[in-house]
Chains A and B, each alone.
Chain A
Amino acid sequence: MFSEFLQYLFTGITIGATYALIALGFTLIYNASHVINFAQGEFLMIGGMATVSLTAMGVPMLLAIVLAVVLAGVLGIALQRLAIAPAKNADVVTLIIITIGASIFIRGLAQLVWGKEYHVMPNFSSEEPIQIFGAVLNSQSLWVLGVGAVLVAVLVYFFTRTLTGKAILATSMNKDAARLVGIRTQVVLMLAFMVSALLGSVAGIVVAPITFTSYDIGIILGLKGFVAAAIGGLGSGMGAVVGGLALGVVEAMAAGYLSSDYKDAVAFSMILVVLFFMPRGLFGAKVVERV
Chain B
Amino acid sequence: MMAQFSRFRLKGLVFLAIVVFALPLFISNPFHYGLATQIALIAGAVVGLNLLVGFAGQISLGHAGFFGVGAYFSAIMTSNYGWSAIPALVVGAIGVAIIAWAVGRPILRLKGHYLSMATLAVGFIIAIILNNERELTGGPDGMPMPAFDVFGWELSVFGQYSLFGMDISGDLAWYLFAGVILLAAVWLAQNLIDSPIGRALRSVHGSEVAASVVGVNTAKYKSLVFVISAVYASVMGALYGHFQGFITPSIASFDFSILLITMVVLGGMGSTIGVIIGAVVLELLPQVLADFQEMEMMLFGLILMLTMIFMPKGLLPTAANYLNKRRSKSAGGDA
Task: Write the residues of chain A forming the contact surface with B, with a CB cutoff of 8 angstroms.
Answer: 36, 83, 86-87, 89-94, 96-98, 100-109, 111-112, 219, 223, 226-227, 230, 234, 261-262, 264-265, 268-269, 271-272, 275-276, 279-280, 287, 289, 291
Contact = CB atoms under 8 A, between A and B. Distances in A.
B58 to A, nearest CB: 9
Nearest to B53: A93
Contacts of A90: 308, 312-313
B77 interface: no
Nearest to A219: B254
Contacts, number: 135
A112 B305 CA distance: 18
A149 to B, nearest CB: 27
Nearest to B103: A272
Interface centre among B122, B261, B308 (most CB of A within 10 A): B308
A106 B300 CA distance: 11
B297 A107 contact: yes
B301 A102 contact: yes
Nearest to B115: A275
Given A262-B132, A271-B118, A97 B301 contact: no
Contacts of B335: none
A107 B269 CA distance: 26
Contacts of A87: 308-309, 312
B309 A98 contact: yes
Interface of B: 53, 59, 103, 106-107, 109-114, 116-118, 120-122, 124-125, 128-129, 131-132, 207, 209-210, 254, 258, 261-262, 265-266, 269, 294-306, 308-310, 312-313
Nearest to A84: B309
A268 B297 contact: no
Given A98-B309, A271-B117, A264 B301 contact: no
A268 B124 contact: yes
B107 A279 contact: yes
A97 B300 contact: no
Given A271-B120, A272-B103, A104 B297 contact: yes
30 contacts: A89-B312, A90-B308, A92-B113, A93-B53, A93-B269, A94-B308, A97-B265, A98-B308, A101-B304, A104-B297, A104-B304, A105-B298, A105-B305, A107-B297, A108-B295, A108-B297, A112-B294, A219-B254, A223-B124, A261-B128, A261-B131, A262-B128, A265-B124, A268-B124, A269-B125, A271-B120, A275-B114, A276-B106, A279-B114, A287-B112
B295 A272 contact: no
Contacts of A105: 298, 301-302, 304-305
Given A94-B265, A268-B125, A269-B125, A107 B301 contact: yes
Contacts of A98: 305, 308-309
Contacts of A279: 106-107, 109-110, 114
* Top 10 A-B pairs, shortest CB-CB distance: A108-B298, A105-B301, A104-B301, A108-B297, A101-B305, A90-B312, A101-B304, A268-B121, A271-B121, A265-B128
Given A94-B312, A101-B304, 10 more contacts: A91-B312, A98-B305, A101-B303, A107-B297, A111-B294, A227-B120, A268-B120, A268-B125, A275-B106, A287-B111
Contacts of B310: 86
Contacts of B124: 223, 264-265, 268
A265 B254 CA distance: 13
Nearest to A269: B125
Contacts of B313: 90, 94
A106 B120 CA distance: 22
Contacts of A97: 261-262, 265-266, 304, 308
Nearest to B107: A275
A272 B297 contact: no
A102 B59 contact: no
A83 B312 CA distance: 11
A265 B122 CA distance: 9
B304 A112 contact: no
B263 to A, nearest CB: 10
B298 to A, nearest CB: 3
A91 B53 CA distance: 12
